[in-house]
Homo-oligomer: A and B are copies of this chain.
Amino acid sequence: MNFCFSDRMSEMKGSAIREIFKLAGDPAVISLAGGNPAPELFPNKELAAIAAKLLEEKPVLSLQYGVTEGYAPLREQAKARIREKEGIDGENDELIITSGGQQGIELIAKCLVNEGDAVIVEEPSFIGATNAFRSFGAKLIGVGLENDGIDLDKLEKALDENKNVRIMYLIPTFQNPAGTTTSLEKRKAIYALAKKHSVLIIEDNPYGELRFAGEHVPTIKSMDTDGIVAYCGSFSKIISPGLRVGFLCAPKELVAKAVVAKQVSDVHTAMLPQLLVSEFMKRYDIDSFIKKNRELYGKKCALMLEGIEACFPGQVTHTTPQGGLFVWCDMNGDFDTAEIAKAAVKKNVVFVPGSTFMADMSKPRSTFRLNYSSMSDEKITKGVEILGKVLKEYV
């Protein structure tokens, strides 16, 4: 049988970085490619005790069907946390548990985007989100990202020129892949533009709790007096990504529709992971736990930047993250980092070429993303050193 795929999916391919990630499983390979949190910080012993107790004492809660909206106490804990940490407390909002932050993005896309509608994304942006929009036939409009956030003039132009923009997708804090943080001033201006054009903002904030330098910047959602921001959060980067527990906080009407979409997608997020997250937050001081993450990532980031300064060709520029998991580099010239990535793989170092994160993925790019959270200090130093040599062959 020759499968004739739907229009929305016919052009969709497995992302190139997934193939790179597969290589990353090889212990001989130094992976600066992934977005994995540091495994040494997983609270596995605490979760082991919680899991055993839950399954022993609450078999029905742990193993029977749950409700699509998510485990009620966890929803309350997530609400309380974003109220306390991010000032998010809209009375017209609702919060549901999603199967990772990723699912929140996909559900909103499914509920809002008709095929041919436009979605504005920062350029570069997170491939999981851009592909989610593509998978519903969205036309992506990339708007350049500056060190303090999206280019406002270009954003305004994109909104003026495209009348069918349904969503503006942003990662204002410790952006993936750029590692940059949008300034408060720009957040306010973005919000005003979204309001003027009646475009929903998806504020994706999986890394927000991972600040290791600089000052907290309020979320766009905390300014949302008009009900135009959908906020995607996640426990992946602060407890465990393998549990696939995230949340979506958005205007009630939108969340109600997202619940219907989630019902046909996976019925509900697995109960045991939800209960583990909930109990962990109840029993342990998650803030002191996250503090360890921040310290570790701050050190690893500094180590990577040090290596970049020492080993990369002088013309390569990089961002200086204040949190999160990624550094973004630019070779500043007519380079194709997808080709360079292939050369680096031969030296057992993997990273993600910049084209991956663009609205138009077909053009060669001089940029690339490095991750500092998942490798040992030794491997970071070694990996950057090897990569420096590879880059010098091209410059």
Contact = CB atoms under 8 A, between A and B. Distances in A.
Interface residues of A, number: 89
A25 B382 CA distance: 57
A203 to B, nearest CB: 15
Given A1-B198, A112-B5, A198-B1, A268 B244 contact: yes
Contacts of A267: 100, 102, 128, 241, 244
A42 interface: yes
A266 B262 CA distance: 11
A102 B63 contact: no
Contacts of A361: none
Contact of A63 (B6, B42, B55, B257): B42
This chain: copies in complex: 2
A56 B3 CA distance: 44
B63 A135 contact: no
Interface stretch (A269-277, A284-292, A329-337, A350-358): A269-277
B3 A251 contact: yes
A15 interface: yes
Interface stretch (A44-52, A78-86, A170-178): A44-52
A117 to B, nearest CB: 8
A277 to B, nearest CB: 11
A241 B6 contact: no
A63 B45 contact: no
Contacts of A13: 260
A380 interface: no
14 contacts: A1-B227, A3-B112, A9-B257, A12-B261, A18-B263, A39-B64, A42-B60, A44-B59, A49-B52, A51-B272, A102-B264, A128-B264, A132-B265, A272-B272
List 8 tightest A-B contacts by C-beta distance, closest first. Answer: A44-B59, A48-B55, A242-B271, A63-B240, A51-B51, A52-B52, A99-B266, A132-B264
